[in-house]
Amino acid sequence: MGERENEKSRAAGILLPITSLPSRYGIGCLSAQAYSFVDLLARAGQRYWQILPVGPTGYGDSPYQSFSTFAGNPYLIDLEPLIEAGLLSQRECDMALGGGQESTVDYALQYHVRLPLLRRAYHAFCRTASSAQRMDFAAFCSEKADWLTDYAHFMALKDAHGGKPCCEWDRSLLGRERTAMEQSRRMLADGINFYCYLQYLFFSQWDALHQYASSRGVKIIGDLPIYVSADSADVWANPELFCLDAQLRPLAVAGCPPDGFSAKGQLWGNPLYRWEEHAATGYAWWTERLRHCFSLYDVLRIDHFRGFEAYYSIPYGAPDAREGEWKKGPGATLFRAARQRIGERAIIAEDLGYMTEGVRQLLADCAFPGMKVLQFAFDGRDDGSKNDHLPHNFPYNCVAYTGTHDNQTLGGWLRSISMQEMRALREYLCDYDTPTARLCKPLIALLMRSQAQLCIIPLQDYLSLGDEARINTPSTLGNNWCWRVRAEMLNDTLVRDVAEMTQRYGR
């Protein structure tokens, strides 16, 4: 991505959320296993690791509904360094969270147990930190103050309100009235400092992992949701940038119209932007958001890119997305403004869904690679061989996927498609005999030998796993974002298979 020395270089990578890694204490995190996974990628000839958003998760545990677009998720903080520093004990961590390698993430356990453990570590830090450690923490807080101050205050206020969304707080706090803000800062000083400390831990651990990945020749692809959560520090601190009423409730919300996948569309519920306000500032907030992302990642995938050309506006309170309408977005103007301030950066545009000539033109104007998804290639809704998602139609300037985090696994998809789709797939492969359960590898090979500059394969597809390993089913709650790979699956056989295919097709 963005390599100037060889304009036609082709590469490969793997998609795996950090939370899906094996590790102790119930969730994948910035632990030794993350470093081991980087090593696996390097040994397998993979130059990219694509992850999901790493912000603190809120309602539904979705990384796309975060309390902050700038902050890191405290669940991803590795506890082992805190044990080594004497801030926690091995025994209390094992008793609270268990020391096993669970196959799913229990988010309720993380909320009710891991956060209190981290608070215990914070109080131990306050008691025992050296002057050098205190100075380092203070320097971090000063460096990140432009967003950290509001975020930590917001989270402390949420705790003080029993977790209630900010739209249910007192008007004086919603309006950020000076007296109310000063009083709450005094009363909640310890809680504010605690949330600053969590970010200090997260970014220290993140920076170390990112540097290690760079040293092993692995670039990290981050993920930026186009929208922010209604219940977030971003909305609370910058209400003028969003379509809100005086109580910080949305006037209209985001989503997608009905299509072949959903008869009622998708109702996401995120507040929409007042794009005229962003334009008046030269898109300053967006520029800082992008700048921050590129301090974390080497490449950035921007979710729902078509929303910059035109966005779907649904009246607040509507039962589903059928009542929405399309409205004009900022287009390439936003990205030109950002480019002037932060320079040329490597961006992948998630251009899936309802496509128009306007969206295609925006993609061309920005020159960002779009996404091609093999699972969309055989649904019969396009004219046979002209389907954009068929590998022979891929341009060089695209990123090819078997599926995304929102799709079924390749194994699950193969077991669920219609006879017509299976016939089309087998005719395209010229393969009528391979058992369905063994088609994952030929389909991955199909993408790998395309001319797409980058090929990203979800780890589950290399492992030929079924829908028990699916990451997310859109518009559902309860079973998403939970899957974790077992440590024994990350073995030499996997490394050899991935490396051989990557080398065979010149990636």
- CA distances from residue 121 to 86, 92, 156, 216 in whole angstroms, order as listed: 9, 11, 17, 31
Phi first, then psi, for residue 221 (nearest 5°) are: -100, 115
The answer to whether residue 382 is catalytic is no
The H-or-E segment that residue 220 falls in is strand 219-224
Measured CA to CA, the distance from residue 407 to residue 373 in angstroms comes to 9
- Joined tokens for residue 420: 């017509």
Distance of CA 34 to the CA centre of its chain: 16
- CA distances from residue 355 to 121, 265, 304, 375, 416 in whole angstroms, order as listed: 49, 15, 11, 17, 25
Measured CA to CA, the distance from residue 166 to residue 239 in angstroms comes to 12
Residue type, position 300, single letter: L
Phi first, then psi, for residue 66 (nearest 5°) are: -110, 155
Measured CA to CA, the distance from residue 120 to residue 11 in angstroms comes to 44
Residue type, position 227, single letter: Y
Catalytic residue among 61, 351, 406, 461: 406
Distance of CA 440 to the CA centre of its chain: 25
Catalytic residue among 78, 102, 303, 351: 303
**What's the number of CA atoms in the CB half-sphere (13 Å) around residue 11?**
20
Measured CA to CA, the distance from residue 459 to residue 489 in angstroms comes to 10
Catalytic residue among 61, 298, 350, 351: 350
Torsion of CA 60, 61, 63, 66, to 10 degrees: 80
Burial of 467 from C-beta contacts in 10 A (0-12 / 13-18 / 19+): middle
The answer to whether residue 350 is catalytic is yes
* Beta strand segments in 296-374, E: 299-302, 310-315, 325-328, 347-349, 370-373
Q: What is the CA radius of gyration of the chain?
A: 23
The answer to whether residue 406 is catalytic is yes
Phi first, then psi, for residue 459 (nearest 5°) are: -55, -40
Question: What is the DSSP code string of 352-365?
Answer: -SS--HHHHHHHHH
Measured CA to CA, the distance from residue 311 to residue 308 in angstroms comes to 7
Measured CA to CA, the distance from residue 402 to residue 300 in angstroms comes to 19
Burial of 388 from C-beta contacts in 10 A (0-12 / 13-18 / 19+): middle
- Annotated catalytic residues are 303, 350, 406
